[in-house]
A and B are shown apart, each in its own frame.
Chain A
Amino acid sequence: MKIETIVAANRFGLGAKPGELPQIDKDPQGWLLQQLEGPPQLPAEIIRLPDTANVLVEVQEARRMQRAAKRSTDGEPAPDVVRKSGSIVRRHYLQQTHARFQVATATDYPFHERLVHFWTNHFAVSADKPPVSALVGLFENEAIRPNVSGKFADLLLAVEKHPAMLVYLDNQRSIGPNSKLGKRANRRREQKVGLNENLAREILELHTLGVDGGYTQDDVTTFAKIMTGWSLGGGDDRRFAVGTPGEFTFRDSIHEPGKQTVLGKTYKQSGMAQGEAILRDLALHPATARFIAGKLVRHFVADNPPPEMVERIANVFLESDGDLPSVHAALVTDEESWENTFGKYKSPQDFVISAFRAFGREPDNGRLVVGALDLMGQTPYRPGSPAGWPDTAAAWGGADALYKRIEWSNTVARLAGGRVNPLDLADSVLGPALGRHTRTAISRAESFDQGITLFLVSPEFQRR
């Protein structure tokens, strides 16, 4: 068996399933390349999920009731109402998390799935507060998943129009001071309304150019003006009542009128076209290509991305006008991707998904997965910031996190109930990459259970 097979299954993929390695061994690179477009049909677990507009309306309605109850009883809202609102959000979060891990543990397109996870993390929203917590998985499936086989510009636009992103980064109420609503409010000396820079800043810093991309504070503020109006329909404020509740709505009444100059270019378009134009320019900027190439190489190859490889991938990005399948394929065909078998330390999520796959199992419910990953430091869909999860061994290599992985492995091993032979398991997942020291340790274990624990915590399984 080729060592490339192990790299393909475990570093590019999500970890080998039983019996998978011999299939991959026929043509490891080909196996990866044929996954680029994703499966012909969406998995059933994804199709079953509700859509963002419905969930957002449901959550907002519950919160409205909560506020009304609070006002009427003149103090704390009745506990039922509070619980109801929180439990609605939690139910959606758990359902979406379960769906994601069901798909990840079962899929025969693991490279494609890993790419979906990568892009969701790049455009991270975090389940820190309602209503975003109820939308995190829907964001992944609506904005990211359909667009990872297309152009980066289209992915970018889908993301910046998605209600989860707009709410997470406070853009839905960012108001241009000279917009119709802005002028009226400030003339009446109402609660001062104005710009919120959060979305504009994070688009430049995290989504496109990167923090060294050469933009200034002025660029951020001006870009924020361009992005005013990118908002949602509905809402509990009379001023925001237009548009379909819970869906993207461009609000001309809060859009800052006039031409704007960002990064030396003047955008004269009016309305939504202005924002679309600058986003398309950012999508093709050389700094964007380099930033994204760096992140991809870090994710798939090494914590310290080799500069020449990053350069090569960035060039593919630019030459293909940001065609993501071309960029993803370039990662696969680049020789440097294959040089180091265990180049990366698995994140907690990588570890848990690969463990389920090794047994050919899926998680029974979302709660288990959330609980385990929370203890290891990676609560699903909750990176805590729009920068997403980090991607290095230093970030994931805490002593306690390792101990948690050991405890979890021990628990999983006991559940296997002495039925699985740990050496067979190790061979079917790691093949020729299983080192002699680990093989010996497993073979000398006191019991099958202990052998499985040793396999799961072994350096070879903890890395990819």
Chain B
Amino acid sequence: MIMISRRIFLQRMSVGALASGMPAIGLARADTDVRLVLVILRGAVDGLALAAPYGEGKYKSLRGELAIADPGQHNGLLKLDGLFGLHPAMVNTHRFYEDGQALVIHAAATPYRERSHFDGQDFLESGANKSGGSRDGWLNRAIGPLGGRLGDQTAIALAPNTPLVLRGANSVSSWAPSQMPDADEATLRRIEALYTDDEFFATRFAQALSSQDIAGEVGGMGNRTRGNEAQQMKTAMESAAKFLSAENGPTIAVLEAGGWDTHANQGAAGGSLADRFRGLDDGLAALQKGLRHHWNNTVVAVVTEFGRTVKVNGTRGTDHGTATAALLVGGAINGGQVVADWPGLGNSDLYEGRDLYPSTDLRSVFKGVLSEHMQIPSAYIEREVFPDSSSVAAMRDLIRT
């Protein structure tokens, strides 16, 4: 079982160094039909709960009250393969997996090895190699070849403010629903004139107007959802689908959700974490529905800053860990497998005796998606998007051909 995951893993990793003898490549216009959705789950999601290694002999004893029953049993995991099972709340994702439209990447982490959420998220979003790195995000750097000039709707954050992963030199937009009356056209024109001398305001205003135009055309996006975080995730995904389906709309959307920091009363098959997984899962289904035929060209990447401890803590939850799981979902995905260089859960296999060992650099997944799916030239990725990461090979065969 472990051998199979490793073989898949090796197949998907480019073996050997990147061909350094390639000629300089001009920046070709990337394929604009493809869509990318990045979902950042903040708070360190328990990868061992998302995709549980039930096939490991020590799984049940190590996880204690957090262990979930085997596939086929009542409230059991949803089988991925002989070693892993998906959390039972993730029924839609399991369906995608069985249709070959989802991959689970496990034992993955950024290069970050401490356990601070904020630094961890910085690493996740900046793509940096070490701390004190850039103040901009890898996805912002990546959209250079795709447009991203003032007024170009290339990437949008479904939030009032721009998360770090989308901040940087390239202009991006953001959008969130409103409850306030619109400002009238005449006033908006004068505000535009007011901002002409101030680049900070001018760029943001232009992006906002552009997104408002799209939201206005698409319709049905006015009202703010009340409701818990799961409902909000679903609404945000529906909005993302609308933006990504709109003519001349963005091709990249970033969503975020917090509340995954399950230090206490985490639950197992049911409970607070299970409810969040269900919300995420409903959101992915809503996204597929909203994208219609665009789903075939879509990749959704669901990531988090690090994982959690293997063992339960004193308050029926888990503390901050290291390696975790990530999901790639979408019609463009070449899926139906768990990709992992699985380190195991034996005592000597754990990182610092407490966490799942990180055997895959998450950036290899990002590199694979950017090059295979977004058609961004590898040379550009290595030089601009993830500089100083030459030891991290792009994961291959993530995308259906």
Interface residues of A (CB under 8 A from B): 128, 170, 173-175, 191-198, 201, 205, 211-212, 217, 345, 371, 375-377, 384-385, 387, 393-404, 406-408, 410-411, 437-438, 441, 445-446, 450, 453-454, 457-459, 462
Contact = CB atoms under 8 A, between A and B. Distances in A.
Given A375-B224, A401-B161, A174 B197 contact: no
Interface in B102-130: 114-119
Contact of B181 (A375, A393, A407, A462): A407
Contacts of B191: 406, 453-454, 457
Contacts of B184: 410
A363 to B, nearest CB: 15
B180 interface: yes
B186 interface: yes
B203 to A, nearest CB: 8
Interface of B: 42-43, 64-65, 114-119, 131, 135, 157, 159-162, 164, 167, 172-176, 178-184, 186-188, 190-191, 193-198, 200-201, 203-205, 207-209, 211-212, 224, 258-259, 263-264, 312-317, 319-320, 352
Contacts of B180: 375, 404, 407-408, 410-411
A410 B186 CA distance: 12
B64 A403 contact: no
Contact of A376 (B115, B160, B175): B160
A212 B119 CA distance: 10
A396 B312 contact: no
B315 A170 contact: yes
A401 B116 contact: no
Contacts of A437: 194, 196-197
B162 A394 contact: yes
15 contacts: A170-B263, A173-B314, A175-B314, A191-B316, A196-B264, A196-B315, A196-B319, A198-B319, A385-B258, A398-B157, A400-B160, A401-B161, A407-B178, A445-B190, A453-B183
A400 B352 contact: no
Contact of B159 (A377, A450, A458): A377
A402 B316 contact: no
A450 B190 contact: yes
Contact of B186 (A170, A173, A450, A457): A450
Given A211-B116, A401-B161, A194 B179 contact: no
Describe A's contact surface by its main secondary structure: helix
Describe B's contact surface by its main secondary structure: loop
B230 to A, nearest CB: 14
A397 B207 CA distance: 12
B194 A457 contact: yes
A410 B194 contact: no
B243 to A, nearest CB: 12
A212 B352 CA distance: 20
Given A195-B313, A407-B182, A399 B64 contact: no
B316 A454 contact: no
Given A170-B263, A438-B194, A192 B211 contact: no
A196 B160 contact: no
A399 B178 contact: no
Given A174-B315, A375-B224, A454 B194 contact: yes
B135 A394 contact: yes
B255 to A, nearest CB: 13
Contact of A411 (B181, B201, B204, B259): B181
Contact of B212 (A377, A397, A403): A403
A411 to B, nearest CB: 6
Given A375-B180, A375-B224, A407-B178, A128 B259 contact: yes
Nearest to A196: B315
Nearest to A387: B118
A388 B187 CA distance: 35
A260 to B, nearest CB: 17
Nearest to A218: B352
